[in-house]
Amino acid sequence: MAVTKNVMRVVALWALLLPLVAVAEVLPPDRLDVMYHSYDGGGATIDGPSMLVRKNIADTVSVSAGYYVDMVSSASIDVLATASEYSEERTEYSVGVDYLHDSTLMNLNYSESTESDYRSETVSTGISQTFFGDLTTISMGLSFSSNYVGVNGNETFSATAKNYRYQFNISQILTKSLIAVFSFESVIDEGFLNNPYRQVRYKDSSAPRGYSYQSEVYPLTRNSDAFSLRGIYYLPWRASIRGDARYHDDSWGIAARDFEVRYLHSIGSDLLLEAKYRSYSQTQADFYSDLFPYRNAQNFMARDKELSEFSSGSFGLGVTYTMPQRWLSVFEKSTANLYWDHFQFDYDNFRNVLDTEAAVGEEELYAFDANVIRLYFSFWF
């Protein structure tokens, strides 16, 4: 299955194109976004184009359509340990509609993602309402995904997984300079939840390197909850500072903490600069081990480094330039946006099996850096 955590991170960065909070219920503006994204780190490269277009109809309805491509080439440590480098492509299409009635905004969205051995369909809906003179906004949402899993080269393998996601958000304008947002999200996963290509290793004295591999085995369910608190404080010198704290735990025993701070500064009327720092840490899953003592050591077994105990830090810079209207007079407004993020991942109990100089189970701990670049253009019409 080609959907990796690194791919998920790149996809999630698309959310940065959207506002952090809504302070009043209005339809999204007529807008076209065209983006190129690139991820490079840990032996994997992922890049591709994407496009999102929105159009309002009669001041009460907004329709949208999106297109997203990931072209993946991976020689990650997981791949090199048990297989050879591979390349593939993931394509996603999405459509959505928003409906505004007084101070209530409702939306319905559908997306489909396909690759050679994986297909996912997602339907989501949400509703938000403003209160107290637009000072308070409450929103709720839910989504359902059906996922179909295959294995390249094995036509007999077929599995499914389902995902249910529930969200609740409340944003409050506290002062003319401060906005706070509280969010809760609950996720239920059911079905085949692991990667059919990934394997665990176990001690085997008869093997040339002292260990052998067998397929991972995951539970068929996973429940997770996340709480977050965000805030935006507008500074008097055409700048703002944003903070985000998030806590997550799940039924697999993983507890995670995530903190981010972001500073934005306007220079004149056409230039916006951004700098941010993010820190993330998590505990390992109950059934994770870098090296099991023997074959079939327990009912559930995982060696996915994303289920290990690890931490990461990232630093990012961004610039948005509002282009003179005379350059593209057909549009009401046009911006060019460039963002760069540097990530550093440090794993506390996932070892580099490519370190053949060390004894089994004593290899160096794995770590790697990654860079994400997003270049996109936005056009209002």
Cα 76 from Cα 132, distance rounded (Å)? 52
220-243 pLDDT, tens digit per residue, is 999 999 999 999 999 999 999 999
CATH number at residue 140: 2.40.160
Tokens representing residue 147 in the block: 């996922």
pLDDT at 198: 94
Look at the chain and report how many structural domains it folds into.
1
Quickly tell me which residue has 């692991």 as its tokens: 194
Instruction: Give residue 24's pLDDT.
Output: 54
Q: Is the pLDDT of residue 6 over 60?
A: no
Render pLDDT for 257-276 as a digit per residue (tens, 0 to 9). 999 999 999 999 899 999 99
Question: What would the DSSP string read from start to end of 58-126?
Answer: TTTEEEEEEEEEEEEEE--HHHHHHS--EEEEEEEEEEEEEEEETTEEEEEEEEEEEETTEEEEEEEEE
The rounded distance, in Å, linking the Cα atoms of 226 and 249 is: 7
pLDDT of 4 reads 39
- Confidence class of residue 78 from pLDDT cuts 50, 70 and 90? confident
Amino acid 12: pLDDT: 38
pLDDT at 71 over 70: yes
* pLDDT for 242: 97
What confidence tens digit (pLDDT) does each residue in 276-310 have? Answer: 999 999 999 999 999 999 999 999 999 999 999 99
Reported residue count of the chain is: 381
**Banded model confidence at residue 133, pLDDT cuts 50, 70, 90:** confident
Which of the two residues, 373 and 1, has the higher pLDDT score?
A: 373
**Mean pLDDT across 334-342:** 98
Query: Are β-strands 310-322 and 199-203 bridged in parallel, bridged antiparallel, or unpaired?
Result: unpaired
Which residue in the block uniquely carries the two structure tokens 């976004």? 33
Domain that holds residue 119: 5-380
Q: How high is the pLDDT of residue 8? A: 37
What pLDDT shows up at residue 82?
84
pLDDT for position 241: 98
- Give the residue with greater pLDDT, 6 vs 228: 228
Q: Is pLDDT at 146 greater than 80 in this prediction?
A: yes
Q: Please name the helix (run of DSSP H) or strand (run of DSSP E) that holds residue 6, with its range, or none.
A: helix 5-12
Q: What is the pLDDT of residue 79?
A: 86
> Across all residues in the chain, what is the average pLDDT?
92
